[in-house]
């Protein structure tokens, strides 16, 4: 019997599957669940947050997948999570040709803005100062008391001195996440009954 991708209660079958290299790999924890390679971003008391609120998370990761990296330098990151939409306030653009009014805009989206703080300015001794990464964001929820991955957003991006920020919109469904408290939530909703949202970056 399979449940959540595992063989449950069939110890003989588990032993049989583990006799091959491919079978053992099925029971190996995936890299994306390790804290070495990312961080859990939790937003507690989600329903009490004001509209257009932003939460900032700061953390660091290793620069390469190899156990022995060519450098001990850690990659520094900030992640700005906008779970209740993005509001660009009215502003003025001042240019040499004059000033221009920029109207306000509201985006009904759950935005994740990822900034690489480890990007350096171009250096003649480093042929490629850019940072090329594959970013995976796991969104999980609970259903019948079992935690499971409900959505995955993956991007390959090159951070540079001119391009330090990656915006990922609609990483979670805005309307599903921002369901009012008086509406019964779906069982597999990313926000659980305690009003918390969890992302793994």
- Structure confidence by residue, pLDDT tens digits, 140-162: 766 677 777 777 888 889 998 88
Question: 């330098």: which residue's tokens?
Answer: 73
For residue 27, pLDDT over 50 is answered with: yes
| Same domain? 25 vs 57 | no
* Same domain assignment for residues 108 and 121: yes
Q: What pLDDT is recorded for position 193?
A: 45
Contacts of 183 (CB under 8 A, 6+ apart): none
Per-residue pLDDT at 24 exceeds 90: no
CATH of the domain at 70: 2.60.210
If one compares 34 and 14, the residue with the highest pLDDT of the two is 14
Pair 101, 131 in one domain: yes
Q: Do residue 55 and residue 92 come from a single domain? A: yes
pLDDT over 70 at 16, yes or no: yes
Pair (168, 85) in one structural domain: yes
Residues 5 and 89 in one domain: no
Residue 34 has pLDDT above 50, yes or no: yes
CB-based contact 79:112 (threshold 8 Å): yes
Q: Does the pLDDT of residue 71 top 80, yes or no?
A: no
If asked whether residues 62 and 90 sit together in one domain, one would say yes
3 pLDDT above the threshold of 50: no
pLDDT band for position 20 (50/70/90)? confident
Percent of the chain with pLDDT over 70: 66
- Domain span holding position 3: 1-29
> Per-residue DSSP letters for 133-177?
EEEEEEEEEEETTEEEEEEEEEEEEEE-SS--EEEEE-SS-HHHH
Are 55 and 25 contacting, i.e. CB atoms less than 8 angstroms apart? Answer: no
pLDDT digits (tens, 9 = 90+) for 76-135: 889 999 989 999 999 998 988 899 999 999 999 999 999 998 876 666 665 557 888 888
Residues 12 and 80 in one domain: no
Let me know whether 48 and 19 are in one domain: no
Same domain for 57 and 90, yes or no, is yes
Whether 9 and 57 map to the same domain: the answer is no
The yes-or-no verdict on residue 32 having pLDDT over 90 is no
pLDDT class of 180 with cuts at 50, 70, 90: low
> How far, in Å, CA of 189 to CA of 141, rounded?
6
Number of domains in the chain: 2
Higher per-residue pLDDT: 3 or 100: 100
Could you tell me if 18 and 86 lie in one domain?
A: no
């Amino acid at each position: 019997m399979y449940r959540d991708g595992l063989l449950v209660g069939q110890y003989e079958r588990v032993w049989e599957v583990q006799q091959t290299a491919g079978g053992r790999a099925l029971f190996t924890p995936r890299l994306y669940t390790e804290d070495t390679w990312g961080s859990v971003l939790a937003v507690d008391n989600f329903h009490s947050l004001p509209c257009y609120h932003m939460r900032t998370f700061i953390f660091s990761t290793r620069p390469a997948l190899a156990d022995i990296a060519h450098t001990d330098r850690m990659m520094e990151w900030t992640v700005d999570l906008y779970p209740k939409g993005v509001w660009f306030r009215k502003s003025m653009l001042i240019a040499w040709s004059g000033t221009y009014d920029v109207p306000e805009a509201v985006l009904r989206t759950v935005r994740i803005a990822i900034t690489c703080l480890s990007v350096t300015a171009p250096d003649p001794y480093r042929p490629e100062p850019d940072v090329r990464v594959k970013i995976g964001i796991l969104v999980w929820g609970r259903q019948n008391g079992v935690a499971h991955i409900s959505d995955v957003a993956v991007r390959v991006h090159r951070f540079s001195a001119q391009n330090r920020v990656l915006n990922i919109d609609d990483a979670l469904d805005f309307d599903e996440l921002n369901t009012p408290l008086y509406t019964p939530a779906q069982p597999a909703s990313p926000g659980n009954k305690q009003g918390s949202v969890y992302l793994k970056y």
